[in-house]
Structure 1
Amino acid sequence: MTRYLSTLLDDYLRPVILTRLGIHFEQKTDFKSIEKIPFPDFSGFEEPLALFFEHEKLSFDEIICLLIALVPHLKPDFFDNVIHAFFDQPTDFYLIGGVRGKQFRGFIPTAETVLFVLAGDQLEKRLEVQQLFGEDHFFARKRILWLEDAPAGEPAMSGKIIMSPEYTDSLTTGKISRPRFGIHFPARLIETEREWKDLVLNEHTMQQLGDLQNWVLHGNTLLKDWNMKHMIKPGYRVLFYGSPGTGKTLAATLLGKYTERDVYKIDLSTVVSKFIGETEKNLSNLFTTAESHEWILFFDEADALFGKRTGVRDAHDKYANQEVSYLLQRVETYPGLVILASNFRDNMDEAFIRRFQSVIYFPKPHSDERLKIWQNTLPSQLTLDKSVTLKNIAAQYELTGSNIINIVQQVCLKALAAEQTSISHALITESIRKELAKEGKML
């Protein structure tokens, strides 16, 4: 831990908590109120947390709340030591809230911890401090910290304070981490080093993709600055459909690249959890985080969940349908771009499709388009011998862009292994045969 962070906790937050305890138990304290405790002078410090305080112009209450939320990630024994120092013995002081974790045995602060430190038993101040955990506060809007739902029947302020792993890292180390894929976050970042020129599609489809790019770049201006929000729903939903390998995923990643938005691919196999109730919590976390970062969400093979509804056969189907209904609702209300991809439009629920702003078809490439893909894909280090005519190959073999990339990869590896820079017609056709065989087709 840096000297800056250590000083903030030991020379600032610790006296704040001890002063609150002293005031509560009517003991003599060095300061009449916690607000009187001087904030350490860190002029000139380039620490991430110091820069964050300055940039966001945090209030006293917000600073204390954020520090309390960070404590378990920095000094697990901090609260136990402070309480021990005041009472001169280990004890659980219920008014300061807090819980113990399943694996983490240290003190995990709850909202009640923040309420006690900032407000003590002053009811009006406690109600004011509760706003730090409201949905409209920038802590929640930016997904910096939030409250875990309290157990049923218990006060909302007894919920644990959850600190965003991303902000925990960025505020303490200056490094921005991305969410880790797993059952609690069923999405992966997808990126590409390719360019729009590498996506070979017909003019109509490219024009539709251009319309999507325009929405991502200018949608907020249309809604807010042009005051269209009372007529146009926030968010944009689009269906990509077409055979595998026709460019649906590449188009999604290129939209992200050229609009400077992260694109996250949702793993639908982990969406409907076997633990009833967990799915909604995980999806809520995903969509709330995505909204705060303006991510593009990409659902591949979407007909697995968004397809035509079937009857309920058992309890699992009943709960699965409930989870899918929740997902549909979040997709419909997401204020950013949501892309659903399917091989066949007919597999999708028509009532759901009607709520989309766009439906974009990705056809298999025609011969001229296949020729362009061949030309774009073959590396300049290779030459074609006289037996190879790409135009004829493009016309003869109905391949997708993905097929052609796989074939070129095989051709290149064989050329490298043979220490050759020229490739023959026989080598290309043999690689085509193997690629088609994967799909159960014969040359």
Structure 2
Amino acid sequence: MQVLQAYAKVLSGLISHRMQTPEADLVINVPIDMDQEDPFLQFIKAHSLTTYEQLLLFMALIPHLQPDYFDTEIQKYLPGKGDFPQIGGTRSKQSRGFLPTGETALFLLGGNDWGTRIEIQQIFWPDHFFSRSKVLWLEEMPGGEPTMSGRLLLSQDHINIFTHGKPVPPHFSSSFPAKPVTTELTWDDLVISNDLRAQIDELISWVNLNAKLMNRWDMEKRLRKGYRALFYGPPGTGKTFTAGLLGKYTGKDVYKIDLSMIVSKYIGETEKNLELLFSRAEDKGWILFFDEADALFGKRTNVRDAHDKYANQEVSYLLQRIEDYNGLIILATNMKNNIDDAFIRRFNAILKFTFPDANERALIWRRTFPSKSTFIGGDIPDMVKRYELAGGSILNVVHYACLKAIEKHTDDKEELEIYVNDVLDGIKREFVKEGKPF
């Protein structure tokens, strides 16, 4: 915190100078040892930020550390409770403190020097590092109002990095409608074909090696950003499980998108929700997992009315946005044919999760039961492998049979006794749910 306190003193001196002599020239000096171990300084050094860029970052950060900072500093130079329009600023319904705007930055850094003010404005242009990397930007103003009247907005991830030294995992909310996908299981617990396993290994290679390919061999200009994969196949065949394992073994966070909070009946809202999601995920290395993706990435239709027109616009927006995302995106669906053809062409990999055959089902049964269990009535995994169930349904049956076994369990027995009749009852329940004859 010593570094941030040092910047607070620099900004205090800057406010003092401008409030008293806004016309005077000013040489801004930041007397800070740049070799200190501090996340704010590390970010500055990593991106070779200028003095103006450093102070802009700090102006956006300080209200999150000390909400009354600007009020306290400004009121020192105003008689009573006067106003000073030149310094800009605004307040919100939730925050009673002074919130700096682009006008605040122009006045404090440039005073009345138009040349410097124009230089500061260019820092907020779309091609600047701050904007491209979603670090710092101006709040969008209604049409016709001065652009620089918008608040200075700093990304929540960078607020956390500068104050806590690390990004804080996002909370599930309307601005980030996604939940982490994790698993305690291993690749050995995933029963799939060798061909599918080879395709999954290709995904792992991309996650682990693509950054080296782009940076060391200068392929960034030739190859598209990110990687897009489609997982398709019947329910319960391991699509979500595989996504969780990919995250576990590559060290990447996997977030499953809640499409019910993304898709909106109101025109333009779906795109806005998606943009918030992608902006938050950009440059984090997160794996975004869209389950039941045909709800969002479905086929475009012939335009019969305004609803069809805007639905097709959503798909067009998605096409562009998934290509711009520089991480791994996984779309999962039960029906590949429901995905728009334009998306199919853009996938780097299409992985088919097939229904397990009898031998694979026996292996799933065997690996799913508790390690300390005994089968009563025969070799249950071999006996029930003929019943056509996917891995997810087998897990439900095992859960049911184990609970029944615990009801009968006595403390003098170390192993859990699994009865074949309980397993068959569980299978029957699954068949009824799926509308299949038992």
TM-score normalised by L of structure 2: 0.89
Q: What do the CA deviations read for 1:250-306 (whole angstroms, capped 9, x no partner)?
A: 112222222222222222222233454444333223223322112222211111122
User: Which is worse superposed, 278-287 or 134-143?
Assistant: 134-143
Amino acid at match of 1:416: I
Residue of structure 1 equivalent to 2:434 = 439
In the alignment, structure 1 residue 306 sits paired with structure 2 residue 297: yes
Q: What is the deviation of 1:54?
A: 6.2
Contact 2:228 / 2:347 at 8 angstroms: preserved in 1?
yes
Could you say what secondary structure the match of 2:105 adopts? helix
Matches within 5 A, 1:366-377: 366-377=357-368
2:16 to 18, 23, 38: 18
Amino acid at match of 2:337: D
User: Which is worse superposed, 272-281 or 185-194?
Assistant: 272-281
Matches within 5 A, 1:337-416: 337-394=328-385, 396-416=386-406
Question: For residues 375 and 24 of structure 1, do their structure 2 counterparts lie closer, same or farther at Cα, with a shift above 3 Å needed?
Answer: same
1:105 to 60, 76, 96: 96
Contact 2:229 / 2:348 at 8 angstroms: preserved in 1?
yes
Contact 1:223 / 1:234 at 8 angstroms: preserved in 2?
no
Distance 1:294 1:199 in 2: 24
Amino acid at match of 1:257: K
Distance 1:192 1:141 in 2: 33
Q: What is the deviation of 1:217?
A: 1.9
Q: What is the deviation of 1:141?
A: 4.5
Amino acid at match of 1:412: C
Matches within 5 A, 1:317-332: 317-332=308-323
Distance 1:156 1:245 in 2: 51
Q: What is the deviation of 1:58?
A: 4.5
Q: What is the deviation of 1:353?
A: 1.0
Distance 1:16 1:135 in 2: 27
User: Which is worse superposed, 82-91 or 207-216?
Assistant: 82-91
Distance 1:160 1:57 in 2: 24
Question: For residues 43 and 362 of structure 1, do their structure 2 counterparts lie closer, same or farther at Cα, with a shift above 3 Å needed?
Answer: closer
In the alignment, structure 1 residue 167 sits paired with structure 2 residue 158: yes
Distance 1:380 1:332 in 2: 44
Question: For residues 312 and 287 of structure 1, do their structure 2 counterparts lie closer, same or farther at Cα, with a shift above 3 Å needed?
Answer: same
Contact 1:83 / 1:90 at 8 angstroms: preserved in 2?
no
Q: What is the deviation of 1:202?
A: 0.7
Distance 1:202 1:126 in 2: 63
Q: What is the deviation of 1:241?
A: 0.7
User: Which is worse superposed, 181-190 or 368-377?
Assistant: 181-190
Distance 2:177 2:238 in 1: 23
Amino acid at match of 1:90: K
Distance 2:164 2:29 in 1: 29
Contact 1:262 / 1:295 at 8 angstroms: preserved in 2?
yes
Contact 2:23 / 2:112 at 8 angstroms: preserved in 1?
no
Could you say what secondary structure the match of 1:384 adopts? strand
Contact 2:254 / 2:289 at 8 angstroms: preserved in 1?
yes
Contact 2:300 / 2:311 at 8 angstroms: preserved in 1?
no
Could you say what secondary structure the match of 2:252 adopts? coil
Contact 1:112 / 1:158 at 8 angstroms: preserved in 2?
yes
Q: What is the deviation of 1:64?
A: 1.4
Residue of structure 1 equivalent to 2:413 = none
Unaligned stretches of 5+ in structure 2?
411-415
Question: For residues 437 and 13 of structure 1, do their structure 2 counterparts lie closer, same or farther at Cα, with a shift above 3 Å needed?
Answer: same
In the alignment, structure 1 residue 77 sits paired with structure 2 residue 77: no
Amino acid at match of 2:417: S
Matches within 5 A, 1:26-425: 33=26, 35-36=28-29, 38-39=31-32, 48-49=39-40, 52=43, 58-174=49-165, 176-312=167-303, 314-394=305-385, 396-420=386-410, 421-425=416-420
Contact 2:236 / 2:392 at 8 angstroms: preserved in 1?
yes
Residue of structure 1 equivalent to 2:424 = 429
Q: What is the deviation of 1:346?
A: 1.6
Contact 1:12 / 1:37 at 8 angstroms: preserved in 2?
yes
| Cα RMSD for the two superposed structures | 2.7
Contact 1:272 / 1:323 at 8 angstroms: preserved in 2?
no
User: Which is worse superposed, 187-196 or 229-238?
Assistant: 229-238
Matched length = 433
Question: For residues 292 and 93 of structure 1, do their structure 2 counterparts lie closer, same or farther at Cα, with a shift above 3 Å needed?
Answer: farther
User: Which is worse superposed, 292-301 or 129-138?
Assistant: 129-138
Distance 2:262 2:114 in 1: 42
Q: What is the deviation of 1:385?
A: 2.2
Contact 2:401 / 2:419 at 8 angstroms: preserved in 1?
no
Question: For residues 313 and 63 of structure 1, do their structure 2 counterparts lie closer, same or farther at Cα, with a shift above 3 Å needed?
Answer: same
Amino acid at match of 1:12: V
TM-score normalised by L of structure 1: 0.88
Q: What do the CA deviations read for 1:384-403 (whole angstroms, capped 9, x no partner)?
A: 12434311211x11111111
Amino acid at match of 1:403: S
Unaligned stretches of 5+ in structure 1?
27-31
Amino acid at match of 1:18: S
Q: What do the CA deviations read for 1:370-390 (whole angstroms, capped 9, x no partner)?
A: 122112211112221243431
Distance 1:138 1:97 in 2: 24
Distance 1:270 1:278 in 2: 10
Contact 2:228 / 2:330 at 8 angstroms: preserved in 1?
yes
Identity, % of aligned positions: 48
Contact 1:272 / 1:320 at 8 angstroms: preserved in 2?
no
Residue of structure 2 equivalent to 1:29 = none
Q: What is the deviation of 1:341?
A: 1.1
